Structure formats: C-alpha cells, structure tokens
Amino acid sequence: MKETADLLKRGFELLDIPHSINQVDLFLTYLIELKKWNKAYNLSGLKTEREIIIKHFLDSLLFLKVLPSGALSAADIGSGAGFPGIPVKIMAPKIKMFLVEPAGKKAIFLRHICSNLDLAGVKIIDKRLEEIEGLKVDVAMTRALFTVGDFIKKTRGHINRGGVLILSKGPKLREELKGLTIQNIKVSDLKLPFADTVRHLVVVKDVAC
C-alpha cells in the first residue's frame, strides 16, 4: 500500500491541502472497503486504486478549494459511494455532512463506511431530494449530476441564508450557462492532479429561500 499512500499524499501536496497521517489512513481504509464492496454492489465503474484515488478522492477534494471557510453544514446530493461528501468530511471534519442517496445499496454502503471510518457528524438520507423536508445547510454540492439550473431549482428551500451551491462540471459548462440569467455565479477552473483534465467548479451564491 506504500505506493498507493504515496500517490495519495502527492495528490494532497499538488492540491496544497494539509493532511495528517490519520487522514491518509482513513482514505486507504475507504479505498479498501470501496474495492471490496464494489465487487458485489457495483458502486463505481472505476476499478484500479490509481483511478479511484485520482478520479474519486482527489476529484472530490477539488471542492475544498472553493468551499466557504465559514461553512458549518453541507449536503452531498446524489452521493453515490460518498463523493464528494466523504472526502470533504475527512479533510474538513468540523463540517456537519448530509449524504443524500436514494439508491438502497449505495445508502447501505454509506452507512457501513461512515461507521467503519468512525466519522462523527454525518447523516445518510436515503431519499430523493424532493422527498426531504427540513434540510437546511450552508452548502449543497454535487458532482456532474445536475445542470446548474436544475440544481438551483431542486435545492430551493434547503439552503441557509448566505449559503452556496457547488457543482463540478465538465467541458460543456459554458454552453450550459448561456441560458441562465442567474447572478452571483463564479467558475473556478481547477486541474485534476495526475490527469489531463480540468474541472470547472461552479459556485452559486445567495440562493437561500
């Protein structure tokens, strides 16, 4: 596992994210459990350790680069196997994290891995966002699951005043934004370590209602 741990730590360094030995160990445990469960539950199309580290772990940690420093709570909408919510929680443990995932098998895995990693302040919600009442967070985040416009509509009523939405988008973002008249949108173009890939992190501010 040394080579795997070294890749992970080098990724943290390239993203300029401080890390502890314990945090590295948590990611390695996450990796082992994800690979084990993936055989039966088909949680992810990525199979190799290198792919998982780069395209799941480090990709999720790009959200930290745009996460508001004062955020106390966040919801990962369509969390799947825990991305980006669990990597963000590992590196920012003070944030209260809600993992919203309606698919039963994935929600079972989320409960298992959060217990296995002993992550405090995490709640798994196995419902569709439209079925949830009373969820109020400072940040709602998602990885390429919704268009910007759809995400704004779906999270309406779930964001605290002064809160933000964060979406990770691909190369078609500019075309997607053309039809929007929403103000307070900022796009940060961030390179994914060890990959010839740029992620567009979209932050939409002042969306509470």
CB-based burial label for 92 (10 Å; 0-12, 13-18, 19+): middle
Q: Is 130 annotated as a binding residue?
A: yes
Q: Is 129 annotated as a binding residue?
A: yes
The half-sphere exposure of 164 on its side-chain side, counting CA atoms within 13 A, is: 19
What Å distances lie between residue 14 and 5, 55, 97, 190, CA to CA? 14, 15, 25, 11
Provide the residue type at 156 as one letter.
R
Q: How far apart are CA 136 and CA 157, in angstroms?
A: 8
Residue 80 region by backbone torsions, left for phi larger than 0, else alpha for psi between -120 and 50, else beta: left
- The DSSP secondary-structure symbol of 77 reads E
Q: Is 143 annotated as a binding residue?
A: yes
- Provide the residue count of the chain: 209
Q: How far apart are CA 33 and CA 97, in angstroms?
A: 20
Terminal-to-terminal C-alpha distance of the chain: 47
Contacts of 145 (CB under 8 A, 6+ apart): 77, 78, 151
Q: Is 161 annotated as a binding residue?
A: no
Q: Is 156 annotated as a binding residue?
A: no
Q: Which residues sit in the known binding site for S-adenosyl-L-methionine?
A: 78, 83, 129-130, 143
Binding residues: 78, 83, 129-130, 143
